[in-house]
């Protein structure tokens, strides 16, 4: 589905990603963990095409296409989705208008007919109730005055509406209380199937109690330094990241 080869990227001349290698196949859930500043969010933004980051090396293939040559909207059309860590507020633009514009833009790019407002309302109502989002949401402007939890739910709602093939969830658990996290996790689990790839970016193991990853990666200083099964997350929770940063210090002396 996605193949990231030796990807390097910098912002304002400062290197952040220093050779990332990662392959995600359909149906797989990958978790990327690591301390603050390791470059996890940068990886998500670079994959989504954020203009503030410059790719300085490597390549990314998404469903056979050269992802790095595509505009952010084209990446979305191709089936890539990123859930933002800090979704931005847009005054004056209604949630419904935005969601419908996004859905129709993707449909148009895939040569599907536009969806009528009536049909859209039906689909939206079903998805909203699955995410436990109140009807007032429809009257509100995009993320305007939303609590942290409401913003994150809106991100996952967008994901379930747009039905991407690969979703990158950047710190989707941050700012959520335990009930909200359950709702969000259930939304993600409900959405996930054997055709969809997921990359979960998270600080803590907490989210992984609800969404079970197949593979866990540890990112430090712009590189993936360790990969393993779900048990790696548990180990990180217990030992922190230092032993990975300085592996020699932890090795028993001979």
Partner 1 sequence: MATDTLFRGGSEYKYGFVTEVETDTLPKGLNEDIIRALSQKKGEPAWMLDFRLKAYRKWLEMSEPRWSNVSYPPINYQDLCYYSAPKKKPALNNLSEVDPEVLKTFARLGIPLDEQKRLTNVAVDMVFDSVSIGTTFKKKLDDAGVVLCSISEALHRYPEIVQKYLATVVPIGDNFYATLNSAVFTDGSFVYVPKGVHCPMELSTYFRINDKETGQFERTLIVAEEGSYVSYLEGCTAPAYDNNQLHAAVVELIALDNAQIKYATVQNWYSGNPQTGEGGVYNFVTKRGRCAGVNSKISWTQVEVGAAITWKYPSCILQGDNSVGEFYSVAMTNGRMQADTGTKMIHLGKNTRSTVISKGIAADFSHNSYRGLIKVVPKASGARNYTQCDSMLVGANCSANTFPYIEVGNATSQVEHEASTSKLNEEQLFYFQSRGISTEDSINMIVNGFCKDVIKELPLEFATEAQKLLTLKLENSVG
225 binds partner 1 (CB under 8 A): no
227 binds partner 1 (CB under 8 A): no
Near partner 1 by CB under 8 A: residue from 55, 68, 96, 102? 102
Rounded to the nearest whole angstrom, what is the least distance from the CB of residue 47 to partner 1 in the complex?
10
109 binds partner 1 (CB under 8 A): yes
5 binds partner 1 (CB under 8 A): no
**How do 54-62 and 215-220 pair as beta strands?**
unpaired
Kindly indicate which of the ranges 14-22, 28-36, 66-74, 120-128 contains the residues binding partner 1, using the contact rule CB under 8 A. 66-74
**How do 54-62 and 65-66 pair as beta strands?**
antiparallel
CB 89 within 8 A of CB 142: yes
Produce one character per residue of 35-44: b if its CB has 16 or more CB atoms within 10 Å, e if not: beebbbbbbb
141 binds partner 1 (CB under 8 A): yes
Site for partner 1 (CB under 8 A): how many residues?
31
Neighbours of 57 (CB within 10 A): 14
Near partner 1 by CB under 8 A: residue from 32, 76, 133, 218? 76
254 binds partner 1 (CB under 8 A): no
CB 128 within 8 A of CB 137: yes
Rounded to the nearest whole angstrom, what is the least distance from the CB of residue 85 to partner 1 in the complex?
12
**Of 109 and 126, which CB lies nearer to partner 1 in the complex structure?**
109
Exposure of 138 in the CB half-sphere (CA atoms within 13 A):
14
Produce one character per residue of 132-152: b if its CB has 16 or more CB atoms within 10 Å, e if not: ebeeebeebbbbeebeebbbb
Binding site for partner 1 (CB under 8 A): 48-52, 71-73, 75-77, 81-82, 84, 87-88, 90-94, 97-98, 101-102, 105-106, 109, 141, 158, 162
């Amino acid at each position: 589905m996605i193949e990231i080869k030796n990807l390097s990227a910098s912002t304002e001349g400062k290197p952040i990603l220093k050779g990332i290698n990662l392959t995600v196949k359909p149906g797989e859930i990958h978790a990327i963990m690591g301390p603050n500043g390791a470059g996890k969010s940068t990886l998500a933004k670079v994959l989504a095409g954020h203009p503030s980051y410059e790719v300085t090396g490597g390549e990314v293939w998404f469903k056979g296409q050269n992802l790095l040559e595509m505009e952010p909207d084209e990446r979305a059309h191709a089936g890539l989705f990123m859930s933002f860590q800090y979704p931005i507020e847009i005054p004056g633009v209604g949630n419904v208008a935005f969601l419908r514009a996004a859905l129709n833009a993707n449909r148009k790019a895939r040569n599907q007919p536009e969806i009528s407002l009536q049909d859209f309302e039906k689909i939206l109502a079903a998805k909203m109730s699955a995410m436990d989002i109140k009807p007032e949401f429809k009257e509100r402007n995009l993320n305007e005055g939303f609590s942290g939890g409401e913003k994150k739910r809106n991100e996952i709602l967008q994901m379930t509406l747009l039905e991407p093939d690969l979703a990158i969830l950047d710190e989707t658990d941050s700012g959520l209380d335990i009930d909200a996290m359950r709702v969000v996790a259930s939304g993600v689990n409900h959405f996930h199937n054997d055709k969809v790839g997921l990359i979960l970016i998270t600080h803590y193991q907490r989210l992984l109690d609800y969404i079970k990853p197949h593979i866990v990666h540890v990112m430090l200083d712009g590189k993936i330094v360790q990969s393993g099964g779900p048990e790696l997350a548990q180990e990180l929770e217990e030992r922190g990241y230092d032993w990975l940063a300085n592996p020699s210090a932890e090795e028993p002396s001979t």
